[in-house]
Amino acid sequence: MNVHKVLKARKDYPEHKIKKGETYYWWVFNFEPGRHFSKTPPRRSQLTKSSYLASLWDLEDRIADLKSEGKEDESGVIALAEDMKSELDEIKEELEYLKGEQEERLEAMPDHFKETSPSGELLQERIDELDEWISALDTIDDDYDEESSEEDKKEFIERIISEIQDVGI
């Protein structure tokens, strides 16, 4: 698949909110009719028909985009620390959901295909990888002392972001 960048649209594409003269991107999936449009470069998740890969890549991109910038005052640092704790929980929940989907798909297969077919092996591989990722995220210490100094809280935030980003498939 090729992604095409158009520097200046020759006409309006109102259904895609693209106006004449604007830059946009388009791509087509093999053996499927119709183009896909975007005003920004497409994310990896937009370039696959696999719902598993789309979800996984969205999650990986979200993790890569974690930042500790923005909130500098005491209350902002506390809020950001709480945000990181909830972000970690959300990431684990999404991984658990993805793992559950893969387990359901594996269970739906006839028994003789589960271990011998490439599809069954792929699903089991995905389940194992997601389980390892979840286990690694479970080891991250996300407790911090609310009475600690602002500098300690900033270090906590940097550490937890770094540990989350270091864990991956």
Task: Express each pLDDT in 79-108 by its tens digit.
Answer: 666 777 788 889 999 999 999 999 999 999
Most confident of 18-27, 68-77, 84-93: 18-27
Residue 71 reports pLDDT greater than 60: no
Strands 24-27 and 3-6: antiparallel
Rounded to the nearest integer, the mean pLDDT of the chain is 86
pLDDT of 160 higher than 90: no
Confidence of residue 125 (pLDDT cuts 50, 70, 90): very high
Q: What Cα–Cα distance (Å) separates residue 137 from each residue in 72, 85, 114?
A: 27, 11, 28
What's the one-letter identity of residue 66?
Answer: L
Q: Where do the H-state alpha helices sit in 20-138?
A: 51-64, 74-108, 111-114, 118-138
- In 3-state terms, what secondary structure has residue 38? strand
Q: Would you state the pLDDT for residue 151?
A: 79
Tokens 């989350």 correspond to 164
The residues with which 27 forms a beta bridge, in sequence order, are: 3, 36
Contact present, 90 and 137 (Cβ < 8 Å): no
pTM (2 decimals)? 0.76
Instruction: Fill in the amino acid letter for 13.
Output: Y
